[in-house]
């Protein structure tokens, strides 16, 4: 595996350039994408942490990581980049995101799907995970970020 540290959540599929307030690729908010290189380390950690919490919420509803050591070893063997300090459910996401079309036996990676998803093809599951992760990120933006921007806009006019 590359020893290079992952420095940004960007996955190279940015939709904020097309006007989305939440990126469909990395799930960051538009202002976070634009200002990422200006952020202090604690600000970056806060973004990483929010993304991790939302992704873990989605992943735990779809699968179980029953052998984290096996998962990590497989990720390293197959040179799949992941953030070691994140939840093993984020690792499982990286596995599915990178290998959904070639993995035949998920249990060989220390992961098992929940019963209601065992008949799903992994590419289909990956799309469902990405869609749910995006919807959660969008809901978070609408609930916590958009009202603040509206209030700030009103304060300027007053």
| Mean local confidence (pLDDT), 26-48 | 95
Over 90: is that where the pLDDT of 19 sits? no
For residue 24, what are the CA distances in angstroms to 10, 17, 126, 157?
10, 11, 13, 32
Structure tokens at 137: 């990120």
Q: Where are the beta strands (DSSP E) in the chain?
A: 63-65, 111-113
Over 90: is that where the pLDDT of 95 sits? yes
The structure tokens 């942490």 sit at 49
Over 60: is that where the pLDDT of 50 sits? yes
Over 50: is that where the pLDDT of 3 sits? no
What integer best gives the mean pLDDT of the chain? 90
Q: What is the pLDDT, as a whole number, of residue 47? A: 97
Q: What is the pLDDT, as a whole number, of residue 1? A: 43
* 12 vs 51, residue with greater confidence: 51
Structure tokens at 47: 């973004």
CA 2 to the chain's CA centroid: 20
Query: Residue 4 gets which letter from DSSP?
Result: P
* 148 vs 83, residue with greater confidence: 83
Q: What is the pLDDT, as a whole number, of residue 112? A: 98
Q: What is the pLDDT, as a whole number, of residue 138? A: 95
Report the C-alpha gap between 110 and 116 in whole angstroms. 18
For residue 129, what are the CA distances in angstroms to 27, 152, 153?
12, 33, 34
Q: What is the pLDDT, as a whole number, of residue 149? A: 62
Q: What is the pLDDT, as a whole number, of residue 152? A: 63
Over 80: is that where the pLDDT of 55 sits? yes
């Amino acid at each position: 595996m590359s020893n290079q540290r992952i420095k940004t959540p960007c996955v190279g599929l940015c939709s904020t350039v097309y006007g989305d307030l939440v990126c469909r690729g990395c799930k960051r908010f538009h202002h976070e994408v634009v200002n990422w290189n200006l952020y202090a380390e604690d600000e970056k950690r806060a973004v990483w942490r929010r993304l991790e919490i939302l992704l873990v919420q989605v992943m735990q509803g779809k699968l179980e990581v029953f052998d984290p050591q096996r998962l990590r070893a497989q990720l390293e063997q197959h040179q799949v980049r992941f953030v070691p300090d994140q939840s093993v459910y984020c690792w499982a996401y990286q596995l599915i995101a990178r290998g959904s079309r070639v993995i035949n036996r998920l249990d060989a990676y220390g992961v098992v799907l929940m019963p209601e998803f065992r008949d799903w093809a992994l590419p289909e599951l990956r799309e469902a995970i990405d869609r749910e992760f995006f919807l959660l990120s969008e809901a978070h933006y609408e609930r916590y970020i958009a009202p603040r921007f509206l209030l700030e806009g009103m304060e300027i006019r007053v």
